[in-house]
Amino acid sequence: MKVVMKRESKAGAELAQKPIPQIGPRDILVKVLATCICGTDAHIYNWDEWSQKRIKPPYVMGHEFAGEVVELGSDVTNIKIGDIVSAETHIICEVCELCRTGQGHLCKDTKIFGVDIDGTFAEYVAMPATNAWVNSKDVDPGLLCIQEPLGNAVQTILAGETAGKTIAVVGCGPIGIFGVTVAKAVGASKVIAVEVNEYRLNLAKELGADVVINPLKEDPIQRILEETDGLGVDVVAEMSGSGIALNQSLKYVKLGGRVSLLGIPSKDVTIDIANDVVFKGITIQGIVGRKMYETWYQVKGLIQSGKLNLEPVITHRLPLEDFKTGFDLMNSGNCGKVVLYPNKE
Q: Say if residues 6 and 55 touch (Cβ distance below 8 Å).
A: yes
Residue tagged active-site, from 35, 40, 89, 166: 40
Distance of CA 151 to CAs 54, 57, 64, 165, 182, Å?
A: 23, 27, 11, 20, 10
Strands, DSSP E only, in the chain?
A: 2-6, 14-17, 27-37, 59-60, 64-72, 84-87, 90-91, 111-112, 124-128, 132-135, 166-170, 190-194, 211-213, 233-238, 253-261, 283-286, 314-319, 337-341
Report CA dihedral (71, 77, 81, 83) to the nearest 10 degrees: -120
Distance of CA 188 to CAs 99, 127, 280, 344, Å?
A: 32, 37, 22, 40
Annotated catalytic residue 43:
yes
Distance of CA 107 to CAs 90, 113, 188, 202, Å?
A: 9, 15, 31, 37
Q: Residue 164: which H helix or E strand, with range?
A: none
Q: Residue 11: which H helix or E strand, with range?
A: none
Neighbours of 139 (CB within 10 A): 12
Neighbours of 277 (CB within 10 A): 16
The DSSP string of 281-331 is: T-EEEE--S--TTHHHHHHHHHHHHT----GGGEEEEEEGGGHHHHHHHHH
Distance CA(314)–CA(116), nearest Å, equals: 26
Residue tagged active-site, from 35, 43, 90, 181: 43
Q: Which residues are catalytic?
A: 40, 43
